[in-house]
Amino acid sequence: MSTGLHRLEAIAKAYAVAAVQADKEGRYEDAIKNYRKAIEVLHKIVALYPTIPLAGLYRKLIREYEERVEQLERLKLPAANASSEEAGGDEDWIVTKKPSITFADIADLYQAKRAIIESIVYPVKRPDLFPLGWPRGILLFGPPGCGKTMLAAAVANEVDGVFMHVDAASIMSKWLGEAEKKVKRLFEKARRIASEGKPAIIFIDEVDALLGVYEHEVGGEIRVRNQFLKEMDGLQDKSSKIHVYVIAATNKPWRLDEPFIRRFQKRIYIPPPDFNARLELFKLYTKGLKLADDVDLRKLAEMTEGYSGSDIKDIVMEAHLRTVRELFEKTGGEGEPRPITMQDFLEALRNRRPSITKDMIKAYEAWYSKFGAV
């Protein structure tokens, strides 16, 4: 029995190796054929020997090969591929929903808002006032939870544009060449949108992942990066009047290399909230809530150095939750919760450490003094 197993495993492996080889060389038909054979044999193995230790791995491989066959089917038919793209069919890793966030929902960050307005909103409205061109790449960097993603989303609302939200991690693919193609298709789609008259804003969150380590392939990340740089250079073409912008965000700017950084003419630091910003955040997030008279938001803002906007939102939510919890415990959920007291906030604060350290801030400021460009 086990020789039968070994034989099947050897056959599956031979097909898989042939498939991957063909895939690498761009012979999609061959790749598909061999992946299918490998899938068939793997199916046979797990049906005949469901309890062997490798059965789990084989099932996983089946799923992966099936997924790849599907992708290759699309790649191999450029015409069909293009039309499904037009329908927005298979680009589910690009989110083009228009966000509802506006600049008014974002506490503080006035400098960043102004920089964004000047580099995107004005050129979109009056390109004639920018005969020397204008930046197409904007990098937002700073500690997590301080509003980078929010800012990018708000831009799309300010210019009546199409917001294309992508996670860098979802561009990266373990399949050879796939990630580069995704970068290419992303920019193609943006140019198509822009050529129809709407500004297209590509937002790449956690952009450092584009340069990140590639598990399955040596050198893959370099090609993705190069493809990305090439696309960025294309946007910069002086004669081009179409409005495609790339906003990238990262918590780890030091992972980016110089050529990459250079493509983003604007580099904007999104700092942790200072006293005034924290006060604004507390006001913003307690706006709809009932507060007791003893609540001192200024005091809370003083006490929360090192806390991010996201931390502060969590603290307010936790303080509020304490009153809701109490209501349920006392009445089973009847009536209204009591007002939130200073004590609720202090308890919520006690259970939550600040997420931004002095060392982190130093690192961002050091990077900023070297590469910042507002």
Ligand X SMILES: Nc1ncnc2c1ncn2[C@@H]1O[C@H](COP(=O)(O)OP(=O)(O)O)[C@@H](O)[C@H]1O
Residues engaged in binding ligand X (CB under 6 A): 106-109, 144-150, 249, 270, 281, 284, 309-310, 313
Picked from ligand X, Mg ion, none, the partner binding residue 107 (CB below 5 to 8 A depending on kind) is ligand X
Picked from Mg ion, ligand X, none, the partner binding residue 31 (CB below 5 to 8 A depending on kind) is none
How far, in Å, CA of 121 to CA of 344, rounded?
A: 42
CB 93 within 8 A of CB 182: yes
Which of 103/187 has CB closer to ligand X? 103
149 contacts Mg ion (rule: CB under 5 A)? yes
Phi, psi of 175 (to 5 degrees): -90, 135
CA nearest neighbour of 211 among 186, 245, 248, 247 = 248
Which of 154/340 has CB closer to Mg ion? 154
- Counting residues that bind Mg ion (by CB under 5 A) gives 1
Picked from Mg ion, ligand X, none, the partner binding residue 164 (CB below 5 to 8 A depending on kind) is none
**Amino acid at residue number 241:** K
What angle (nearest 5°) sits at the alpha carbon of residue 251, between those of residues 359 and 111? 90
Q: How far is the CB of 149 from Mg ion (least distance, A)?
A: 3
3-state secondary structure of 149: helix
Query: Half-sphere exposure (CA, 13 Å, Cβ side) for 74?
Result: 16
Picked from ligand X, Mg ion, none, the partner binding residue 145 (CB below 5 to 8 A depending on kind) is ligand X
CA dihedral 216, 218, 222, 224 (to 10 degrees): -30
Picked from ligand X, Mg ion, none, the partner binding residue 139 (CB below 5 to 8 A depending on kind) is none
Which of 62/211 has CB closer to Mg ion? 211
Which of 23/108 has CB closer to ligand X? 108
Which of 96/310 has CB closer to Mg ion? 310
3-state secondary structure of 133: coil
Site for Mg ion in 267-296 (CB under 5 A): none
63 Cβ partners below 8 Å, 6+ apart?
A: none
227 contacts Mg ion (rule: CB under 5 A)? no
How far, in Å, CA of 330 to CA of 327, rounded?
A: 5
Q: How far is the CB of 167 from Mg ion (least distance, A)?
A: 10
Q: Can you give the binding site for Mg ion, defined by CB under 5 A? A: 149
